[in-house]
Amino acid sequence: MSYLIKPQHYKPILDLKQTELGIKQIKEFFQMNISSELRLRRVTAPLFVLKGMGINDDLNGIERPVSFPIKDMDDRQAEVVHSLAKWKRMTLADYAIESGYGIYTDMNAIRPDEETGNLHSLYVDQWDWERVIAPEDRNVAFLKEVVNRIYAAMIRTEYMVYEMYPQIKPCLPGKLYFIHSEELLQLYPDMDPKGREDAITKKYGAVFIVGIGCKLSNGRKHDGRAPDYDDYTSEGMNGLPGLNGDILVWDNVLQRAMELSSMGIRVNKEALLKQLKEEGEEKRLELYFHKRLMDDTLPLSIGGGIGQSRLCMYYLRKAHIGEIQASIWPDDMRNECQRLNIPLI
């Protein structure tokens, strides 16, 4: 069986009809708020892109995209997106978006190599967003400002859920706690990255871990990042590398940290060259996306993704992401969830 957290004596607070209505209200309310906070306009996004263009998100570099041949293009291969991290930046250029403004879209992806469980599904739905920034915005202070705006929208959404369903009490702290992944390592040196995330998030309720993808003092990364979108090597928080990070909240149902958003200031030419060299991926410079970046035809930007199903799962106090979205689960997981009173869609 894939990894399944089994909360004791779990009973859903909402029935199926209440859950579906809650999902609808959360998605409508949150995207309206995030659009206002970050000055984003909605755009239409692709479900798949052409292979070999460097547009698809490589995630940790090992996940296989779903691909298929296009009959009308001599069987040229297309790939279902992992996310739209690079596509969004090209769209900012193509739409001639001004500095201080940006775009967001509904991103739907299929990740067949995902290890399914309470928080992970083969189907991924998130709000992907990207905003044009000025050169002077490429610093950790600006990153924190944007993160706090996103968190403010999260707090307002939680209160909206409470007004709709008073039995669901708000629990997000008023402020988000910021810590660098290296500082987190020093604080909990005997734990693995997930253990460190659980420990710090349980303590503060909601945290933003800066510097995802950079090598730490133990020679390892806190977590992987593709080298060609987030800037994880430029100087950031407290002189440590990284202008990116993750928002995590403490989930009382599962008694663990839940990542809701991954985001960061994107690479400029210097950071791209440095990070590709570190990963031995200089060959990517021949791809369409990378050529555009090196030719100065893409704007400087900040962007990220916010998990839609996870956000709903957190607000509605669900034990499994399969209570929010329809997906495919192993038979033994479905049977065990049924036994545990976790109704998968």
E strand or H helix that includes residue 273: helix 269-278
Is position 42 annotated as part of the catalytic site? no
- Pick the catalytic residue from 130, 230, 246, 251: 246
In 111-242, the DSSP E strands lie at 123-132, 177-180, 206-210
- Pick the catalytic residue from 57, 128, 158, 182: 57
- Pick the catalytic residue from 259, 279, 281, 336: 259
Is position 8 annotated as part of the catalytic site? no
- Pick the catalytic residue from 89, 111, 266, 310: 111
- The two tokens of residue 216 are 């730490």
In whole angstroms, what is the distance from residue 163 CA to residue 152 CA?
Answer: 17
Is position 183 annotated as part of the catalytic site? no
> Which amino acid is residue 271, in one-letter code?
A
134 CB-side CA count, 13 A: 5
Instruction: Tell me the CA end-to-end span of the chain in Å, nearest whole number.
Output: 18
Is position 262 annotated as part of the catalytic site? yes
- Pick the catalytic residue from 25, 35, 126, 234: 126
Is position 106 annotated as part of the catalytic site? no
Query: Comparing C-alpha atoms, which of 320, 309, 326, 249 is closest to residue 7?
Result: 320
Is position 261 annotated as part of the catalytic site? no
In whole angstroms, what is the distance from residue 236 CA to residue 68 CA?
Answer: 40
How far apart, in Å, are the Cα atoms of 198 and each of 202, 257, 308?
6, 5, 21
- The two tokens of residue 161 are 């859920």
- Pick the catalytic residue from 262, 301, 325, 327: 262
CB-count burial class (<10 Å; 0-12, 13-18, 19+) for 204: middle
Per-residue burial over 224-262, b = 16 or more CB atoms within 10 Å of its CB, e = otherwise = ebbbbbbbbbbebbeebbbbbbbbbbbbebbebbbbbbb
Note whether 265 and 211 are within 8 A (CB). Answer: no
Pairing of strands 177-180, 206-210: parallel
User: Which residues are the active-site residues?
Assistant: 57, 111, 126, 246, 259, 262
